[in-house]
Amino acid sequence: MSEKDFAAFWPVFQEIVTSAQTYTIDPAIGFDDAYRLWCQAPLATWVAKDASGTLLGSYYLKANAAGPGDHVCNCGYMVAPAARGQGVARKMCEHSQTQAKASGFLAMQFNAVVATNTVAVALWQRLGFRIVGTVPEAFRHPQQGLVDTHVMHKALMR
Amino acid sequence: MSEKDFAAFWPVFQEIVTSAQTYTIDPAIGFDDAYRLWCQAPLATWVAKDASGTLLGSYYLKANAAGPGDHVCNCGYMVAPAARGQGVARKMCEHSQTQAKASGFLAMQFNAVVATNTVAVALWQRLGFRIVGTVPEAFRHPQQGLVDTHVMHKALMR
């Protein structure tokens, strides 16, 4: 994802973090910090576009931890509101697993999948991820109050 | 913890990360990055000393996540090798819970307690923490190979 792509993606990013339903990102985050978080801190960031070049979504890939934990990766996915329900998240997750394996990661871990985000939980499960832990009330949902988050994990077969 | 304290603590920090038994920190981390990680990125970092001023250990306190997850805190504790078995970790953990409550945190979460670190797991359990998840093979132990990590959690009663 180039900086120009990120500028096009920024309204999507903002919509997702200000709705505060799914990501533990400060809803008031500015462009520069968001660019750093999404594009510079990770190992790689990808953009999904349709045939006409319209942005559909984006994901990042990074090590989930350093040193003796850096064989496990972590990804975050965001789909543009207009592109939902078309399998974009699934395609990005499949792509990210291929990329992760190519980078030598042995597993992929999501640290805080919000339990009320049932569409995401079900999709990750269909893609082979397992809930390996549930943290009680770790997410302040704007409508539903304190809700649980799941730790989800998948070993990446080589 | 002052920068001068951190300089005194640095050999302890180095011993712990180079042994690579307990922390997902790059064993080759340098002083400046370690200082940033342990003292500057967190909300607060404390040092434990005995009556004569000898350093016994240190811990940091920070939010475990941003935005809708910033009501849960995270701590990391390190005890000087010469001070082990004297209840320093217990005292630091109790102190950190008091500090966390004073800062308004509702819970404390440890993201990756290495399962082979049975002394720590048992201590956190005695102090009221619960294993809420186990990530398979998330830690490369230098002697034992790929070992599990636990997510541990405690609600902080007010």
pLDDT at A14 over 70: yes
What local confidence, expressed as pLDDT, does residue A46 receive? 98
Q: What structural domains does chain A harbor?
A: 3-155 (3.40.630.30)
Using DSSP bridges, classify how beta strands B72-79 and B107-114 pair: parallel, antiparallel or unpaired.
Answer: parallel
This prediction has a pTM of 0.96
Q: Give alpha helix (H) positions in chain B.
A: 3-19, 31-35, 88-102, 118-126
CA dihedral B4, B8, B13, B16 (to 10 degrees): -170
Q: What is the mean pLDDT of residues A138-155?
A: 98
Instruction: Give the minimum alpha-carbon distance from B82 to chain A in angstroms, rounded to a whole number.
Output: 24
What local confidence, expressed as pLDDT, does residue B79 receive? 97
pLDDT at B17 over 80: yes
State whether A138 and B70 contact (CB < 8 Å): no
Reference B89, options B53, B56, B66, B40; nearest CA is B56
Give the distance, in angstroms, between the CA of residue A150 and the centroid of all CA atoms in the same chain: 14
pLDDT at A81 over 90: yes
Q: Which two tokens stand for residue B55?
A: 């350093």
Q: Residue A115 class from Cβ within 10 Å (0-12 exposed, 13-18 middle, 19+ buried)? A: buried
What local confidence, expressed as pLDDT, does residue A158 receive? 64
- Which of B17, B109, B132 has the most A C-beta neighbours within 10 Å, making it the best mutation to test the interface with A? B132
Contact A77, A124 (CB under 8 A): no
Residues of chain A with C-beta less than 8 angstroms from the C-beta of B18: none
Confidence of residue A45 (pLDDT cuts 50, 70, 90): very high
Angle between helices A118-126 and A88-102 (to 10 degrees): 50
Q: Which two tokens stand for residue B92?
A: 């630091």
CB contact set of A128 (below 8 Å; sequence gap of 6+): A154
Q: Measure the CA–CA gap between B91 and B116, rounded to whole angstroms.
A: 22
State whether B68 and A149 contact (CB < 8 Å): no
Residues of chain A with C-beta less than 8 angstroms from the C-beta of B26: 66-67, 70
State whether the Cα torsion B114-B120-B122-B125 is positive or negative.
negative
State whether B67 and A20 contact (CB < 8 Å): yes
DSSP state of A40: I
Global ipTM? 0.95
Mean pLDDT, chain A, integer: 97
For residue A124, the surrounding DSSP H or E stretch is helix A118-126
Task: Catalogue the long-range contacts made by B33-40 (C-beta closer than 8 Å, 24 or more residues apart).
Answer: B34/B6, B34/B10, B35/B3, B35/B6, B38/B1, B38/B6, B38/B9, B38/B13, B38/B76, B39/B1, B39/B3, B39/B6
Instruction: Give the minimum alpha-carbon distance from B15 to chain A in angstroms, rounded to a whole number.
Output: 14
